[in-house]
Structure formats: structure tokens, C-alpha cells
Amino acid sequence: STAGGADLEPPDQGLCAGGGYVVEFINNALAIYDKNGNQLLAPVGSAQVFNQPTTDFFSDPRCYYDAPTKRWFLQEFIVGTVNSAGQEVTPSVQFEAVSNTQDPTGSYTIYSWDTTDAGTAHCPCFGDYDQLGADANGIYVATDQFGIVSGFNGVIIYAISKALLEN
């Protein structure tokens, strides 16, 4: 019901735990539990999580709890749209939400970047099967870049300063 009754298959999952919480992110719904399995946040849709229109097509949710800083990272992307001539109508966008506190039910700062890459062969594109990693210095997002109409361009890696995201 969080995605307007649409059932997105396969049910991609982004699960993370830490600080006494469990965050479950499945296409296209997010719920939060305490360590005993009590639901603290009923399922909300990806559009609500990332403050976007409910008409956007979200996919491949990811979740990461950063123990050293006690922050939560939520990630998902939307596939852009093209018209019948293959021209971009709306861009493809990667979203990264960073919790403002150690409480995953609290507020988040939302970041995003355009992954359309319109100047590259087979594009406009989108970054499919996004992966999320981290170390002491950064958050790293890897995507498989596909043309919205056709074509595979390879892997794109984005590196973002963790300190800047968290501050």
C-alpha cells in the first residue's frame, strides 16, 4: 500500500541493524523496529522517505548503519523517463538519506545526484543495481549504468566524503 498498490518484483532488500534498531527497506517500503522486533515506524513509501512524488519509479533500496558515527544511510534510485524519440523527459536520480541523529526514526538530510549522463553513448541512462559501501573516510556507491532505452555502459563508482554527509 506504500507504493499505491503496485507490487515490485523481485522484492529487493536493504536491511541494516545497529544501536538497538533494525531498519528494513524493501521495494518500496521502509519500516523500523527495535532490537526485540517491536515496530517503531509502520511502513512508509520510498517517495515519502526521499520527499519525492509518488509517481517516481524507485528501485534497489540499500541501508547502512555506521557504528563509529551512529548514523543511518538510506539509498535508492529512480529511473528517468524518455519520450518516443528517446529524449530525456525526467532525469534518473540516485538518493542518499543520512540520519541527523543516531535514532533511525528521526529526521534525515536528503542528498541526490543526477545519473542520467546524457552525453554518453546509449544514454540517457540510469544507475541500476546500486551498491553501498563505506570506510572511515567515505560512502561509496557503485551502479551498473544502463541506457533507459538500451545498452550497457559499464560500472560507475561515486565516492562521497562521509564527514561532509554527516555534518
User: What's residue 3's pLDDT?
Assistant: 56
Q: What is the mean pLDDT of each run of 10 residues along the chain (167 residues)?
A: 62 91 92 97 92 87 94 93 84 95 96 91 90 94 92 94 85
CA dihedral 119, 97, 137, 164 (to 10 degrees): 90
Calpha distance 11→55 (Å, rounded):
19
First-last CA distance in the chain: 34
Bridge partners, 71 (sequence order):
66
Distance CA 72, CA 5 (A): 27
The confidence score (pLDDT) of residue 161 equals 93
Q: Which of 75, 78, 80 is nearest to 59 (CA)?
A: 78
Q: In angstroms, rounded to a whole number, what is the distance separating the alpha carbons of residues 21 and 19?
A: 6
Q: What is the pLDDT of residue 148?
A: 87
